[in-house]
């Protein structure tokens, strides 16, 4: 007997899995390894939409012809002063991102893409976020919580970073 589900999810993000479960969408995970590298002079909103679509397309291309459920791909970036901040590669870079965001207003851009038979759709959401000034102690303490190491901009607004 085949398990019933609504879509495939081409994302390793625990938050995306949580959101789909929260809204009652059943899914199966697809492991996608899509390099997240902006093109030269590529605008952040174009980049994040391209990445979401590339992930959905890569997942869709993994499927057999008879198993063509829609595939959801997604991506999020943080943009400050026109610079795209992705996921931190290490603690030094993550803390530097947090210091850069300290006391600033920046944008969080999230794109989702759905790929199905002869159809595709991409949607973009842009949120404006204002961080209070962060001390080095604040940054060290937040980084030590381990919730932001795989998040764009090195923070999770739905977590402990909400206090900032």
Q: What is the pLDDT of residues 53-83, one digit of tens each?
A: 999 999 999 888 777 789 999 999 999 999 9
Using pLDDT thresholds of 50, 70 and 90, give the confidence band for residue 12: confident
Report the helix count and the strand count for the chain, using DSSP H and E: 4, 6
Q: Cα dist. 155→34, 122, 162 in Å?
A: 21, 24, 9
Q: What percent of the chain has pLDDT over 70?
A: 98
Cα gap 69→49, rounded to integer Å: 21
Over residues 130-139, mean pLDDT: 96
What value does the mean pLDDT of the chain take?
90
Using pLDDT thresholds of 50, 70 and 90, give the confidence band for residue 111: very high
pTM: 0.87
Query: Residue 163: pLDDT above 60?
Result: yes
Over residues 79-91, mean pLDDT: 92
Active site amino acids: 75
Cα gap 55→33, rounded to integer Å: 8
């Amino acid at each position: 007997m085949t398990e019933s589900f609504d879509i495939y999810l081409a994302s390793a993000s625990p938050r995306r899995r949580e959101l789909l479960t929260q809204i009652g969408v059943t899914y199966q995970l697809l492991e996608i390894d899509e390099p997240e590298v902006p093109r030269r002079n590529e605008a952040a909103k174009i980049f994040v939409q391209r990445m979401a679509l590339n992930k959905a397309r890569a997942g869709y291309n993994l499927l057999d012809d008879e198993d063509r459920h829609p595939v959801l791909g997604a991506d999020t970036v943080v943009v400050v002063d026109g610079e795209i901040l992705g996921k931190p590669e290490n603690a030094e870079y993550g803390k530097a991102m947090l210091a850069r965001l300290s006391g600033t207003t920046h944008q969080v851009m999230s794109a989702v893409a759905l790929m199905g038979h002869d159809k595709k759709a991409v949607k973009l959401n842009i949120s404006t976020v204002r961080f209070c000034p962060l001390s080095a102690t604040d940054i060290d303490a937040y980084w030590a919580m381990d919730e932001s190491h795989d998040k764009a901009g090195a923070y999770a607004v739905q977590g402990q970073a909400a206090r900032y």
